[in-house]
Structure 1
Amino acid sequence: MTATLEATETAVRLDGVRKTFGSGTRAVTALDGIDLRVAPGEFVCLLGASGCGKTTVLNLIAGLDAPTSGEIELSTTRPAVMFQEAALMPWLTAARNVELPLRLARVGKSQREARTRELLDLVRLGDVGNKRPHELSGGMRQRVALARALASALDGNRGEAASLLLMDEPFSALDAITRDVLQGELLRVWQATGTAVVFVTHDVREAVRLGQRVVLLSSKPGRVVQEWDVDGLTGSDELDAVDRINARLREVISSHAA
């Protein structure tokens, strides 16, 4: 079951969430008793090997699927979602792509145009609003997708910023240099908006660099096996955290293979 939280001390809460696909002898349990809390404005990275259920968690939080059992509670009815692919409408300009969810939400023309300009400026693309996706680099397309995701969570004509942003390995298809730049840009946007972020990745370095907290899931069926507070780590402390989490991840993968 999914509900909306009345209190604001939690952006999202999962209690005993279990997800099984199929039935009978063909049933596959993807998640088995996930408990997770994300505070307003917190940046949490979900880490784990491929197939451990990270994307399933995101889909359940987004309301794209329903848990088999357990409860999911959100502080917003419209979390923003950003996937691996930008998935922009190729016939629309960058500005029109960002504006689309505002148009669907029936936001007035002048307000949605102003908000679109603000969001493009926020992701440092204020000068390419008239260009179509094929005219943009991969990194620029992902910035447009980020602006659109934030626009999609606006509360109607009130124009409130997104309170929860769900990101499913949004930089995995990019080259290393572009990925590094966009990680920095994402941190800047997160700090500017105060949005809570749940970020799925299988890259330990990315998780430690971006997150305030790293949550490790076991291999299928996914369970929370350990969490780390990595907020503000730099230099050798950051490298030590990467090494510790990598070692624990290898243990989890090895125990599953055995």
Structure 2
Amino acid sequence: MTATIEARQAVTAATQPVRFHQVGKAFGQGRRAVVALDQVDLEVAVGEFVCLVGASGCGKTTLLNLVAGLDQPTAGGIEINSSRPAVVFQEAALMPWLTAAGNIELPLRMAGVPKSVRRTKAAELLELVRLGGLGDKRPHELSGGMRQRVALARALASTTDHTGSGAGKPSLLLMDEPFSALDAITRDVLQGELLRIWQATGTAILFVTHDVREAVRLGQRVVLLSSRPGRVVRQWDVNGLTGPAEIAAVDEVNAALRQVISSHAA
């Protein structure tokens, strides 16, 4: 599942954890087929934070599933040059019988990482997400925000290569509306925490959200998909925007999103 494509800038494949080349995805066959994605060209650079926005059903989550290997494209190709991509979903999806540390260790245990290394890594990641000292707590003993922090730490553990097969490859984190189920205050706090963790780890992030304000606040680049079938229609460089410039960017992206939705409804 690879393809040779020309990058938007003079960037080699080795600097891009993932590249989409004319990617299409249809569900079903014949007249009943539903085309979710069509001719998607997109790349994410090492350490880049890219946010995907678009109307419901435009294929944002489908794109993440294709990168994660949970599904396969029906057209085009995806070039992945990263250690194992990890996914953080809207729900934390933690194993209720495992402790926070146990959940974080799970992908490492499945990869055959020795227990002492797993425990050390889990402790480091708990500190990174500011849950140090809570590794023995089970999911039901944690708040929703804390559970999402554990899910993030588990994903970061999953992107760590301990086998040597991914040596030298950049890491990639896929996030599918991870904060949408949280209250506004907790969501705001975790957005700030995610930025801190991203800056500390240098992990590339492909982040799906319905919230344009969230996309502009978090992302370096915002990518707008058309309504079904999803195609890349516009991109904005929003890196480092604050104050009036940030507000203007939010307004511009929202206006483009409304136009996409309106044209589809018409």
Give the TM-score of the pair, scaled to structure 2: 0.93
CA contact (8 A) 1:45 1:211 kept: yes
- State whether structure 2 residue 75 is matched by structure 1 residue 40: no
- Structure 1, residues 220-245: CA drift from partner, whole Å, max 9, x if none? 00000000000000000000000011
Give the equivalent residue in structure 2 for 1:214.
Answer: 222
CA contact (8 A) 1:11 1:196 kept: yes
- Taking only aligned residues, the RMSD between alpha carbons, in angstroms, comes to 1.8
Give the equivalent residue in structure 2 for 1:82.
Answer: 88
Paired residues for 1:127-138 under 5 Å: 127-138=133-144
Could you tell me how far 1:8 is from its partner in structure 2? 2.2
Paired residues for 1:106-185 under 5 Å: 106-157=112-163, 163-185=171-193
Could you tell me how far 1:212 is from its partner in structure 2? 0.0
Give the equivalent residue in structure 2 for 1:24.
Answer: 30
Could you tell me how far 1:157 is from its partner in structure 2? 4.7
- Residue 149 of structure 2 aligns to a residue whose secondary structure is helix
Give the equivalent residue in structure 1 for 2:9.
Answer: none
Compare 154-163 and 53-62 and name the one that shifted more. Answer: 154-163
CA contact (8 A) 1:80 1:152 kept: yes
The correspondence for 2:237, drawn from 229, 233, 236, is 229
Query: What amino acid does structure 2 have at the position aligned with 1:35?
Result: D
Q: For residues 43 and 32 of structure 2, what CA distance do their matches in structure 1 show?
A: 31
- Residue 120 of structure 1 aligns to a residue whose secondary structure is helix
Q: For residues 243 and 220 of structure 2, what CA distance do their matches in structure 1 show?
A: 16
CA contact (8 A) 1:4 1:76 kept: no
- Residue 197 of structure 1 aligns to a residue whose secondary structure is strand
Give the equivalent residue in structure 2 for 1:57.
Answer: 63
- Residue 89 of structure 1 aligns to a residue whose secondary structure is coil
Q: For residues 61 and 7 of structure 1, what CA distance do their matches in structure 2 show?
A: 16
- State whether structure 2 residue 233 is matched by structure 1 residue 250: no
Query: What amino acid does structure 1 have at the position aligned with 2:160?
Result: L
Identify unmatched segments of 5+ residues in structure 1.
none
- Residue 14 of structure 2 aligns to a residue whose secondary structure is coil
Query: What amino acid does structure 1 have at the position aligned with 2:90?
Result: Q
Q: For residues 162 and 181 of structure 2, what CA distance do their matches in structure 1 show?
A: 32
Q: Which contiguous aligned blocks of 4+ residues in structure 1 show a shift greater than 4 angstroms?
A: 2-7, 157-162
- Residue 228 of structure 1 aligns to a residue whose secondary structure is strand
Identify unmatched segments of 5+ residues in structure 2.
6-11
From the superposition, tell whether residues 96 and 80 of structure 1 become closer, same or farther in structure 2 (CA, over 3 Å). Answer: same
Query: What amino acid does structure 2 have at the position aligned with 1:81?
Result: V
- Residue 264 of structure 2 aligns to a residue whose secondary structure is helix
Q: For residues 231 and 150 of structure 2, what CA distance do their matches in structure 1 show?
A: 33
CA contact (8 A) 1:30 1:53 kept: yes
- Structure 1, residues 69-98: CA drift from partner, whole Å, max 9, x if none? 101011125101111100000011000000
- Structure 1, residues 105-133: CA drift from partner, whole Å, max 9, x if none? 00111111100100110000011100000
Query: What amino acid does structure 2 have at the position aligned with 1:150?
Result: L
- What percent of counterpart residues are identical? 74
Q: For residues 63 and 4 of structure 2, what CA distance do their matches in structure 1 show?
A: 17
